Amino acid sequence: MKDRTRVFGSVALFALVFLSMLLLFAIMSSKGTLYDSVGWLILGVIVLAFGVLYLRGGLKDARKGMSFQDERTKKITLYAGSAAFTLSIWWMLALMYLSDKINIIPRHVAAAGIAGMALLFFISWIWYDRRGAPE
């Protein structure tokens, strides 16, 4: 029951985030700012890819009676979050530096920052899931 709630919560969260990104993309596209809206679509696809990857294995295991989330997956999420946070600081600093050098408008910098954070978390999670969390 606890696992079922966790699965339902995770699916709902990923769906909500993805639909929000899709909605932002649709709203901005309809306003004629297709160039600006593509960033939200990319972000949505990253969230969707991560969601599918994360939930696919978990659901398969849960159906067989195994735990959906165990101590290893919790550790991986913790390490991935920590690594993504550290890398995001450097990513943001690089963006701020580059925004001065090459003329990027502030909202593009913000969008690239958020998309970069999501991507970094996704990559970190894959990295620790495949390589194992350091002890």
Partner 1 sequence: VRTRIKELRARYDMTQEDLAVKVGVRRETIVFLEKGKYNPSLKLAHDISKVLNAKIEEIFIFDVGENSS
Q: Do 21 and 43 meet the contact criterion of CB atoms below 8 Å apart?
A: yes
Residue of 22, 61, 83, 114 interacting with partner 1 (CB under 8 A)? 61
CA 62 to mean position of chain CA atoms: 23
Region of 25-33, 37-45, 69-77, 105-113 interacting with partner 1 (CB under 8 A): 69-77
CA distance 84 to 123: 8
Can residue 4 be called a binding residue for partner 1 (CB under 8 A)? Answer: no
Can residue 81 be called a binding residue for partner 1 (CB under 8 A)? Answer: no
Q: Determine which helix (DSSP H) or strand (DSSP E) holds 64, and give its type and residue range.
A: none
The greatest distance separating any two alpha carbons of the chain, rounded to the nearest whole angstrom, comes to 55
* Shortest distance, position 66 Cβ to partner 1, whole Å: 5
Q: Which residues bind partner 1 (CB under 8 A)?
A: 57-58, 61, 64-68, 70-73, 131-133, 135
